[in-house]
Amino acid sequence: MTTLTYRDYLHIDKLLSIQAPRTPDTAGTEVVLAEHFFIVAHQTTELWLKQIIADLGAAAEALAPDPSRGQEGLAASDGELSAEFLLRANDLLLLLYNQLVALEKLPLRLFAEFRPFLDNASGAESAQFKAFSTLLGDDQSDGKLYETFRAATECAGTSVAEVCRLGVHSGVHHRIAELLLDIGNAYWRWKVAHLGVMSRSLGEQSGTGGSSGATYLAGRLAMPFGELRRLRGEVHAEMAAHHAAQRAA
């Protein structure tokens, strides 16, 4: 009987054969290795993004209101399941952040040497990053994840505003709201770190995708979960009004 090996189970040969620096070998080992580092950073990001998108999709699915439950709303176990997925997505985003920071150590002279071989290839073309951003939404429009959360609160006879007001007293809804904000802030931190890596290594040069580079990326910094943030802010105004009413009484 043959036993499954680590190498076969994980398709290691295939995995390790898809890093293909375009720098010619004649350029020297340090340039080829620098490009290899750049490729691995992008490929692993795409791999983790695959997991993050799937986890966020599963988190939304677990939250999706079940009409058969009526006003009972979210089953506690579904809420916890959703939270478990959100927690993993958040941990993975932190990992992507650290990985990006490692790219700051890409030696400039070597990057300048292999960059022409990238042609017009650019991270801006990443279909997975776009899907991820759409799922999260931004400060102007809510993504599917937040919309499902809002629907789950309404189905339970409460609201996101109420969840913000009650905090821990709203149970698993509060836990999910906090995790959404963790993820939103981790996404923002990744974007700021990416701008930092980019501006450190390119200055005012334009991107391989044809954008203005730093100016373009700075203009794309947006915070997900705009409504949730606004509703949290309103808790201060409500509390201030409450204090004022007490003083007047």
Residues that bind ligand HEM (CB under 6 A): 41-42, 45, 100, 103, 106, 122-124, 126, 129, 194, 197-198, 201-202, 207-211, 213, 216-217, 220
- Residue 227 CB, nearest distance to ligand HEM (Å)? 21
Spatial contact of 89 and 56, defined as CB atoms under 8 Å apart: yes
CA distance 205 to 154: 48
- Residue 228 CB, nearest distance to ligand HEM (Å)? 21
- Residue 216 CB, nearest distance to ligand HEM (Å)? 5
Residues in the chain: 249
Q: Which residues of 137-158 are buried (b: 16+ CB within 10 A; e: fewer)?
A: bbeeebbebbebbbebbebbeb
Structure tokens at 234: 């309103």
Q: What is the DSSP string of 205-248?
A: PPPTTSS-THHHHHHT---S-HHHHHHHHHHHHHHHHHHHHHHH
Q: What is the Cα 196 distance to its own chain's centre?
A: 17
How many CA within 13 A on the CB side of residue 119?
3
**Residue 172, burial from CB neighbour count under 10 angstroms (0-12, 13-18, 19+):** buried
CB nearer ligand HEM, residue 150 or residue 194: 194
CA distance 108 to 235: 47
How many CA within 13 A on the CB side of residue 37?
19
- Residue 151 CB, nearest distance to ligand HEM (Å)? 28
Instruction: Kindly list the distances between the CA atom of residue 20 and the CA atoms of 8, 38, 39, 126, 168, in Å, as whole numbers in the listed order.
Output: 21, 11, 8, 18, 50
Structure tokens at 73: 């709303």
CB nearer ligand HEM, residue 74 or residue 217: 217
- Residue 78 CB, nearest distance to ligand HEM (Å)? 31
CB nearer ligand HEM, residue 21 or residue 213: 213
